[in-house]
Structure 1
Amino acid sequence: MVKHVLRASLVSSLSVAFMAGCTVTKSVNNAQQVAPTNTPKNIIMVVADGMGPAYTTAYRNYVDNAATPEIESVVFDDILLGNASTYPAKVSGYVTDSAAAATALAAGVKSYNGAIGVDVDKKPVNSVMHYAKTKGMRTGLAVTSQIVHATPASYIAHNESRKNYNEIADDFFDIRVNGEPVADVMLGGGTVYFKREDRSLLSQFVNEGYEYVDSYEGLSSIPAGSDVIGLFAPVALPAVLDDNRKDRLAYLTKHAIKHLENDKGYFLLVEASQIDWAGHANDVGSAMAEMHDLAQTMEYLREYVDTHPDTLVVLTADHSTGGLAIGAGGDYRWSPEYLHNMSASARTIAATMVDEDMPGEYAAKQLGLSLTSEELAMLDSVSNQDEETRYAAVKTFLDIKTNTGWTTTGHTGVDVEVFAFGAGATSFSGQIDNTDIAKTIFTLLDSSALNK
Structure 2
Amino acid sequence: MVRRTTMVAAASALALGGLAIGSAVQAVSPGFTDDRSAKLSSAIDPAKPRNVILLIGDGTDDSIITAARNYELGAKGRFALDELPFTGAMTTFGLKTGPNPDDYPINYVSDSAPTASGWSTGKKTVDSRISQGPSVSDTTPGTDYETVLEKYKKEGKRTGNVSTAEITDATPAAAASHINLRACQGPTDMANCTAAKKSNGGKGSIAEQLVDNKIDVLLGGGKSRYLQATDAGPTALAYAQSAQKYQLVENKSALAGVTTLDNGPILGLFTTGNMTPRYQALTATPAGAGGPDTTCQTADRGTQPTLADMTDKAINLLDNDKGFFLQVESAMVDKQEHSSDICGAIGDVLELDNALKVAQAYQAKHPDTLIIVTGDHAHSTQIVGNGGSTTSATGATGGKATATVKTADGDPMTVAYSTAAPGSSQSHTGSQIRVAASGPQAANVTGTIDQTDLFATMLGRTPSKISTPATPPTPSAPAARPAVAAVADKKISAKALKTKGLRVSTSASAATSVKITLLKGSKVLATKRLGAAGGTTYLRTRSSVKGAVKIVVTATGPGGTASKTRSSTVTR
So what's the TM-score if we normalise by structure 1?
0.71
Q: What are the within-5 Å matches in structure 2 for residues 249-264 of structure 1?
A: 249-264=307-322
Cα pair 1:148 1:169 within 8 Å, conserved: no
Instruction: Give the whole-Å Cα distance in 1 for the aligned partners of 2:402 and 2:66.
Output: 21
**Does 2:306 match 1:306?**
no
Match of 1:191 among 223, 226, 243: 223
Shift of residue 442, structure 1, vs aligned partner: 2.7
Q: 1:314 to 1:110 in 2, by over 3 A?
A: same
Distance change in 2, residues 1:307/1:95 (3 Å): same
Mark the CA change 1:423 to 1:446 in structure 2 (over 3 Å): closer, same or farther: closer
Cα distance change of structure 1 residues 99 and 174 upon mapping to structure 2, 3 Å threshold: closer
Maintained 8 Å contact 2:375/2:433: yes
- Residue identity opposite 1:299 in structure 2: K
Matched residue, 1:379:
none
Q: How does 1:107-118 map to 2 (within 5 A)?
A: 107-118=121-132
Q: Which residue of 2 aligns with 1:146?
A: 166
Residues of 2 paired with 1:438 and 1:294: CA distance? 21
Partner of 1:266: 324
Q: Say yes or no: does 1:281 pair with 2:316.
A: no
**CA–CA distance in 1 between the matches of 2:165 and 2:129?**
18
Name the residue aligned to 1:16. Answer: none
SS at match of 1:432: strand
Matched with 1:220 is 256
**Structure 1 pair 451–148 and aligned structure 2 pair: CA distance change class (3 A):** farther
Aligned twin of 1:136: 156
Asked whether the 8 Å contact 1:86–1:415 carries over to 2, the reply is yes
Structure 1 residue corresponding to 2:185, chosen from 135, 142, 165: 165
CA distance in 2 between counterparts of 1:114 and 1:120 reads 10
User: Shift of the alpha carbon at 1:433?
Assistant: 0.5
Q: Report what 2:37 is aligned to.
A: none
Q: Answer whether contact 2:402 2:415 (CA < 8 A) is retained.
A: no
Q: Hey, which bits of structure 1, 4+ residues long, moved more than 6 A?
A: none
What residue identity is the alignment partner of 1:205? A
The aligned residue for residue 120 of structure 1 is: 134
Partner of residue 24, structure 1: none
| 1:73 to 2:50 alignment | no
Deviation at 1:254, TM superposition (A): 0.6
> Do the aligned partners of residues 232 and 331 (structure 1) sit closer, same or farther apart at CA in structure 2, a change above 3 Å counting?
same
Kindly provide the amino acid, as one letter, of the partner of residue 78 in structure 1: E
CA contact (8 A) 1:81 1:428 kept: yes
Structure 2 match to 1:423: 440
Deviation at 1:223, TM superposition (A): 2.5
Which of 117, 133, 138 does residue 103 from structure 1 map onto?
117
CA distance in 1, matches of 2:150, 2:456: 13
1:440 and 1:37 map into 2 onto residues whose CA distance is: 10
- Give CA-to-partner distance per residue, 1:26-56, whole Å, 9 cap, x none: xxxxxxxxx9612211101111100011112
Q: Does the CA-based 8 Å contact 1:191-1:232 persist in structure 2?
A: yes
Q: Structure 1 residues 451, 211: closer, same or farther in 2, change over 3 A?
A: farther
Compared with structure 1, are the counterparts of its residues 257 and 171 closer, same or farther at alpha carbon in structure 2 (3 Å cutoff)?
A: same
Matched, 1:326 2:337: no
For the structure 1 residues 192 and 426, does the alpha-carbon distance in structure 2 shift closer, same or farther, using more than 3 Å as the test? same
Structure 2: which amino acid aligns with 1:403?
Answer: T
Moved more, 194-203 or 233-242: 194-203
C-alpha separation between the residues in 1 aligned to 2:209 and 2:455? Answer: 24
What is the letter of the counterpart of residue 416 of structure 1? I
**Which of the residues 237, 250, 254 maps onto 1:202?**
237
How far the C-alpha of 1:297 sits from its partner, in A, is 1.1
- Code of the residue aligned with 2:48 in structure 1: it is T
Structure 1 pair 192–81 and aligned structure 2 pair: CA distance change class (3 A): same
Partner of 2:105: 91
Partner of 2:276: 238
Post-superposition offset of 1:284: 0.9
Q: Cα distance 1:75–1:237, how it changes in 2: closer, same or farther (>3 A)?
A: same
| Residues 1:404 and 1:172: Cα distance change in structure 2 (over 3 Å) | closer
**What percentage of aligned pairs have identical amino acids?**
27
| Cα deviation code 1:140-164 (max 9, x no counterpart) | 1110000010001111111110111
Classify the secondary structure of the residue corresponding to 2:109.
coil
Q: 1:430 to 1:149 in 2, by over 3 A?
A: same
Q: Tell me which of 57, 64, 73 is aligned to 1:64.
A: 73
Where in structure 1 are there 5+ consecutive unaligned residues?
Answer: 1-34, 333-392
Give how far 1:220 is off.
1.4
SS of the counterpart of 2:175? helix
Is the 1:210–1:228 contact (alpha carbons within 8 Å) kept by the matching residues of 2?
Answer: yes
* 1:78-109 Cα distance to aligned partner (Å, 9 max, x none): 11510100110253521111101011011111
The answer as to whether partners of 1:40 and 1:444 remain within 8 angstroms in 2 is: no
Q: Report how far residue 261 of structure 1 moved.
A: 1.1
Pair 238,445 (structure 1): closer, same or farther in 2 beyond 3 Å: farther
The residue type paired with residue 60 of structure 1 is R
| Mapped partners of 1:155, 1:101: distance in 2 | 11
Which runs of structure 2 are paired with 1:302-381 in the superposition (5 Å)?
302-322=360-380, 324-328=381-385, 331=388
Asked if the contact 1:107/1:439 (under 8 Å) is kept, the reply is no
Larger RCO, structures 1/2 (Cα 8 Å, 6+ apart): 1
Contact between 1:92 and 1:112, CA under 8 Å: does it hold in 2? no
**1:402 and 2:407 correspond:** no
Change (3 A) 1:173 1:204: same
Describe the shift of the 1:315–1:169 C-alpha distance in structure 2 as closer, same or farther (beyond 3 A): farther
Shift of 1:209: 2.5
Q: Structure 2 vs 1, CA of residues 189 and 246 (structure 1 numbering), >3 Å: closer, same or farther? A: closer
Q: Secondary structure at the match of 2:452?
A: helix
1:13 paired residue number? none
Tell me which protein shows more strand as a share of its residues: 2
CA shift, 1:424, in A, is 2.2
The verdict on how the C-alpha distance between 1:42 and 1:299 changes in structure 2, with shifts beyond 3 A counting, is same
The equivalent residue for 1:355 is none
1:351 corresponds to which residue?
A: none
CA-to-partner distance for each residue in 1:383-432, whole Å, 9 max, x for gaps? xxxxxxxxxx9x85547963212232100000000111122211222210
> How many residue pairs were aligned?
348
Q: Distance in 1 between matches of 2:307 and 2:259?
A: 20
What CA distance in whole angstroms lies between the structure 2 residues aligned with 1:197 and 1:237? 23
Q: Which has the higher helix share?
A: 1
Distance 1:315 1:397 in 2: 28
User: After superposition, what is the alpha-carbon deviation per residue over 1:281-322, rounded to whole angstroms, capped at 9, x for unaligned?
Assistant: 111111111111111111222222111211111111100111
- CA RMSD, aligned part only? 2.9
Structure 2, unaligned runs of 5 or more: 1-43, 96-103, 136-141, 188-202, 280-298, 390-399, 407-411, 420-425, 465-535, 539-572
Letter in 1 for 2:275: L
